[in-house]
Chain A
Amino acid sequence: MSRTILCVATAAGLTCVSLGLMIVRYRVLGDEVLAPRGPGAWRVTLLVNGSSTSKDAKLLTATPLEIGHQHICRESCRSNEFSNKPPASRRPERRQVLWNYRQTISPGRFRVIYEFYCQLDLHRADAPLPHSAKLLYRPPAAGEFLRDEARIECEHPEIAALARQLTEGTDELSEQVEALFRHVDQYIGKEPAVGGGGLSAVQCLKNGRGDSGAKSRLLVALCRNRGIPARMVTGLMLARGKGQEQVAHYWVEAWIHDHWKPMCSFHHYDGHVPPAFLVFGIGDLPIVHGKLVRDLDYAFLTEPSDPKVESVLARPSTLHRFFRSMSLYALPPPEGRLVEFLLLLPVAALLVCVFRNVIGMNSFGTFAPALVGLAFRELESLPGILVFVSLVLIGWGMRRILDSYHLLQVPRTAFMMSLVVVVLIAGIVAANFHDLPATKFMPLFPMVILTGMIERFWTLEVEDGTYASFKTMLGSMFIATTIALVLGIHALVRILFQFPEILGLIMAGQLLLGRYTGYRLSELFRFRDLSMVSGP
C-alpha cells in the first residue's frame, strides 16, 4: 500500500469514526448534545439595562458558583456596548463577570446579557463539594459572621431585645436558632422584591414585612446578636413554569455545632433549602453593580431546559448515562473554558497547514502565528496585533543596538526579554495616563513568542535583507490575524464544544494535507517564468 493510500485510508477511517460517533451520540442524547437537557437542567438569562455616563463605565455581574449539587456550563456574555472578562477560576467563592465599556461606543443606554445553563442534582442536594468550593463551607474563624455590617445591625437595641426575648429559657444553640427562624418566618410578612438596595434588618423589623433579602438580614442579625455565626446566601430560585422572570433570592445559613444550617424564612425552609436554590455567593451581594452607570435594572429569565423531554429522560439508558457523563457539559466552567481553548488549537494548526502548504506563506516559526492569533482571540482585541507588530519593530531596533555589545546568545535573549518587559510596562503606564485600557491590547501569553520573533526578525534582516524580514513579518501577522478572526467566531467554538468529534475530521484534514503534493499558490508566482515557456 502506498503511503498516500495509507494516509487517505486513515483519514477516511477517522472521518467515519468521528461522523459515526456524532450520529450515535445525537441519536442517543437528542438535543441534549446541543445543550444540557433533562430534569434539573435550566437555562438562565440575566438581562441588565442602564445608562452609562462615561466611556470608562464598568459593570460587575455576579455569576453562580460551581459547587456540589449545582453545575454551570455554556456561559456566554453578550453586549454591544461592553466587552467582558470571564470570571476568574482562582476565586471559586465569588465569581463575577467584569464588563468594560467599549472605547468606540458613545456613552448612553446599554444592554448586557449573561446566559448560562445549569445542571442541578435534584436527588443529592448535599452532593460532595469539589475541593475548590470546600472553603465556602469551612467553620467560621473566631469572631467571623458575628459583627454588624451594612444593613445587618445585630447590636441594635430593638434587635437585641427581640433576640433575647425569643431565646429566653434555652441554652441550646439549635433551639435558639429554631426560635429565631420561627419568629421571622411566621410573624414577619412577605413583600415582593423591587429595585434598590432593600430594607435593612431594623427596617424590616419595624415594618413587620420584607422581601427575601430583608427577612434574611433580620434573621442573620438576630442570630449574630445571640453569638451564633450567621450569614446570608445570595442566589436565584429556579421556579418551574414556562419561563419565570425574577430577581435575586436570599436565604440564611447559621453555624450550629459543626455545620452550616440553611434556612429560608421567605419560603419556610428550615434545615434545608431545595436544590433549585441556585447559589451565587456567600454574603449580602448585589447581582449587578457598576461604576459611572445609572438607572441600573436587571431581571433573570429562568427556563427548564426542554421540559418536554423530562418524562422521557426519567430513566435514561446505560448508553445515555455514559454519553451524558462523558459530555463536555459535565465539566466545571474553568475546565470547560480550558477545553474550549484546547479544541481551538487543532483548528489553528490546520489553518497554519493551509497557509504553509497550500498557500505557501512564510512565517516566523511554524505555530507561533497560531499562538499569537489565539492570544488575541481571547482578548477580543484585533488591534492588539498591531500593538504586537509595533513591539516587534521596537524590539528589532533595540536588538540592533544590542548587537554592538557582542553578548552571548542566551544572556542576550534574556536581556531582550527584559527590555521587552520594560517597553510593555512603559506602554501600560502611558496608556493608563491617557485612560486607555492597555490590558485589552497587551496579553502576557505571547511574551516568549514576541522575544523569539524579534530575534528571528533581526537574524533574517541581517542575513537575507530588510525585504525578506518584513515580508515574513507580514506573512506571520496575516496568518495570526486570520486565525484570530476565524477562531473568534462564537458559532465555531459552540459547535466544537457540542461536537468535539469534529477533532477527528480536523485530524483527517491534517493527514490529507500531510500528503498533499500539489503546487503551493506561491509557487505559481515563483515559477511564473517557467509556466510561460511553451511547447511547439
Chain B
Amino acid sequence: MTWLFSRWRRLKERGILGINRRNAEFILDYNSRALYPLVDDKLRMCEMCRDIRVPTPEIYATLESHSKLRQFPDFLKDRPDFVIKPNRGSAGRGVLVIVGRQGPQFVRHNGEKLTPEHLRQHLSDVMSGMYSLGALPDRAIVQQRIQLHLAFESVAFQGIPDVRVVLYRNEPAMAMLRLPTKESNGRANLHQGGLGVGIDLSSGLTHHAVQRNRMVLGHPDTGIPVIGLRVPFWSRILEMSRRVAEAVGLGYLGVDIVIDANEGPMLLEANARPGLAIQIANAQGLVPRLAEIDELKNAPTIRTREAKRSQDVPLRKSA
C-alpha cells in the first residue's frame, strides 16, 4: 500500500497530468462541446485549413452513399496510391493505405494485396459507420498518400511518421514524433505498438523514446537510434499548429502533422481529446508546462503549489 502512495506522490511531484484531471480541468473547461464536430470532421477541417493557408493532403474523392460504390473503380483508375479513411474516424481506425497496384489488385503499405471487392467492402464498412465516432453512418474520404520524407527513412517501418503537438491556449505545450513499427502494422499509433519519441520544443530535436510505455533507445525494427533526430521544418510545424489551434478555438488541442517528401508539413487532423502518452514519450509531466503557459497568458488558472514545485525539479534518471 505504501508504494501506491509514494508512487502517487512522485507522479504529482513530476507534474504528470492524469486522465481525470485532463478531462475535468482542461477538456471540460477549455474545449467547448460545440467545437467538437469541427475537429471530428476531417472534411470541415480541410476547408478550414484552406482558409488559414495551412496545407493538408489533397482529397481525391468522398463517398457518401453505397450507390456510389459502383463508380469507385472509375475515379481511382488514375491513382496508383491513395489513402481511404472515415471522415469522422479516430485513432487511425479504418485507415487503409494503398501504395500501388498489381494488375487489378491494390497493394497495401504492408504488402498485402486487396481485390477491388475487398476495397469496396472496406468503403462500405466505413460508410456504415463501423470505424466512426458513435458508430454513425459516415463518409469515406479518398486522400493523397503522403510520401516518406528522407529524414525518416531509417526510422519508419512501412508507414509515415507524424508529429503530435499538444497545444494549450494556442501555445505548444509538448510534442512528440510517432514512428510506425512492425508491431503497429505500419501505423503511427502508440497504443498499437508505435514508437513515441519526445521532441524538445525549442530545438526540434528528439530526446527520449518509448514503446508501449517503456523506454527505448533505437527503432525496434531497424535498430537505428531515434534520439537526437532533428525534425525537419520544426518552426513551420509549430507555427502551423498555432494557426490551427487559433482557428479551431479549442483551448486544449492535439494537432497531428505529417511531413511530405515533396510538399513539406501538412495537417493530418486535430484531436479535441489528445492522449497523455506524450508525457511518457517526453519523460516529462504536462502540468508544469501548462502552468507556464498560464503565466505567459497572464491568467493563472492552474498555478498550484505542486506545479510550481515540479517546475523546479529537473528530470533525471535515478541511478
CB-CB contacts of A332-356 with B at 8 A, as 1s and 0s? 0000000000000000000000000
Known: A526-B213, A532-B318, A533-B317. Is A463-B10 also a contact (CB below 8 A)?
Answer: no
* Residues from chain A with Cβ under 8 Å of B121 in the complex: 406
| Pairwise interchain contact A464-B25, C-beta atoms closer than 8 A | no
Chain B: minimal CB distance from A17 (Å):
25
Does A530 lie at the interface of the complex (its beta carbon under 8 Å from any beta carbon of B)? yes
Closest residue on chain B to residue A463 by CB atoms:
B93
Tell which of B16, B20, B128, B314 touches A516, judged by Cβ atoms closer than 8 Å.
B20
Does B114 lie at the interface of the complex (its beta carbon under 8 Å from any beta carbon of A)? no
| A408 to B20 alpha-carbon distance, docked (Å) | 37
Tell which of A468, A517, A523, A534 touches B11, judged by Cβ atoms closer than 8 Å.
A523
Does B130 lie at the interface of the complex (its beta carbon under 8 Å from any beta carbon of A)? yes
| Pairwise interchain contact A517-B25, C-beta atoms closer than 8 A | yes
| Pairwise interchain contact B280-A524, C-beta atoms closer than 8 A | no
* Residues from chain A with Cβ under 8 Å of B117 in the complex: 406
| Pairwise interchain contact B24-A516, C-beta atoms closer than 8 A | yes
Tell which of A459, A464, A529 touches B210, judged by Cβ atoms closer than 8 Å.
A529
Does A143 lie at the interface of the complex (its beta carbon under 8 Å from any beta carbon of B)? no
Known: A515-B24, A517-B24. Is A529-B213 also a contact (CB below 8 A)?
Answer: yes
Does B58 lie at the interface of the complex (its beta carbon under 8 Å from any beta carbon of A)? no
* Residues from chain B with Cβ under 8 Å of A4 in the complex: 24
CB-CB contacts of A160-180 with B at 8 A, as 1s and 0s? 000000000000000000000
Chain A: minimal CB distance from B280 (Å):
6
| Pairwise interchain contact A464-B279, C-beta atoms closer than 8 A | no
* Residues from chain A with Cβ under 8 Å of B317 in the complex: 532-534
* Residues from chain B with Cβ under 8 Å of A535 in the complex: 13, 313-316
| Pairwise interchain contact B18-A520, C-beta atoms closer than 8 A | yes
Closest residue on chain A to residue B91 by CB atoms:
A463
| Pairwise interchain contact B16-A527, C-beta atoms closer than 8 A | yes
| Pairwise interchain contact A518-B191, C-beta atoms closer than 8 A | no
| Pairwise interchain contact A529-B214, C-beta atoms closer than 8 A | yes
CB-CB contacts of A492-536 with B at 8 A, as 1s and 0s? 000000000000000000000011111111011011111111111
Interface residues of B in 1-51 (CB under 8 A from A): 4, 7-8, 10-14, 16, 18-21, 24-25, 28-29
| Pairwise interchain contact A530-B14, C-beta atoms closer than 8 A | yes
* Residues from chain A with Cβ under 8 Å of B158 in the complex: none
CB-CB contacts of A347-391 with B at 8 A, as 1s and 0s? 000000000010010000000000000000000000000000000
| Residue of A408, A409, A464, A531 with most chain B CB atoms under a 10 A cut-off | A531
* Residues from chain B with Cβ under 8 Å of A527 in the complex: 11, 16, 213, 279-280
Closest residue on chain A to residue B214 by CB atoms:
A529
| A531 to B20 alpha-carbon distance, docked (Å) | 18
| Chain A count of residues within 8 A CB distance of the other chain | 34
Report whether over half of chain B's contact residues are helix, strand or loop; otherwise say mixed: helix
| A527 to B214 alpha-carbon distance, docked (Å) | 9
Does A3 lie at the interface of the complex (its beta carbon under 8 Å from any beta carbon of B)? yes
| Pairwise interchain contact A464-B191, C-beta atoms closer than 8 A | yes
Tell which of B8, B128, B279 touches A524, judged by Cβ atoms closer than 8 Å.
B8
| A216 to B21 alpha-carbon distance, docked (Å) | 74
| A519 to B280 alpha-carbon distance, docked (Å) | 15
Chain B: minimal CB distance from A76 (Å):
39
| Pairwise interchain contact B19-A410, C-beta atoms closer than 8 A | no
| Residue of A360, A518, A520, A535 with most chain B CB atoms under a 10 A cut-off | A535
| Pairwise interchain contact B20-A518, C-beta atoms closer than 8 A | yes
| A459 to B135 alpha-carbon distance, docked (Å) | 12
Closest residue on chain B to residue A516 by CB atoms:
B20
Closest residue on chain B to residue A517 by CB atoms:
B21
| Pairwise interchain contact A408-B124, C-beta atoms closer than 8 A | yes
Does A465 lie at the interface of the complex (its beta carbon under 8 Å from any beta carbon of B)? yes
Interface residues of B in 128-150 (CB under 8 A from A): 128-130, 135
CB-CB contacts of B92-114 with A at 8 A, as 1s and 0s? 01000000000000000000000
* Residues from chain B with Cβ under 8 Å of A517 in the complex: 18, 20-21, 24-25
| A526 to B11 alpha-carbon distance, docked (Å) | 11
Tell which of A3, A410, A468, A531 touches B7, judged by Cβ atoms closer than 8 Å.
A531
| Residue of B10, B25, B29, B317 with most chain A CB atoms under a 10 A cut-off | B10
Closest residue on chain A to residue B130 by CB atoms:
A409
Tell which of A514, A515, A530 touches B279, judged by Cβ atoms closer than 8 Å.
A530
Does B192 lie at the interface of the complex (its beta carbon under 8 Å from any beta carbon of A)? yes
| Pairwise interchain contact B11-A524, C-beta atoms closer than 8 A | yes
* Residues from chain B with Cβ under 8 Å of A406 in the complex: 117, 121, 124
Please give me the 8 A-B residue pairs with the lowest Cβ-Cβ distance, nearest first.
A409-B128, A517-B21, A534-B318, A406-B121, A535-B313, A519-B18, A531-B10, A531-B7
Q: With A3-B24, A529-B280, A530-B279 given, can you name 14 additional A-B contacts, CB distance below 8 Å?
A: A3-B29, A4-B24, A409-B130, A518-B21, A520-B20, A523-B11, A523-B18, A527-B11, A527-B16, A527-B213, A530-B14, A532-B317, A535-B313, A536-B314
A sample of 5 inter-chain contacts (CB < 8 A) reads: A517-B21, A518-B8, A528-B7, A531-B11, A532-B317
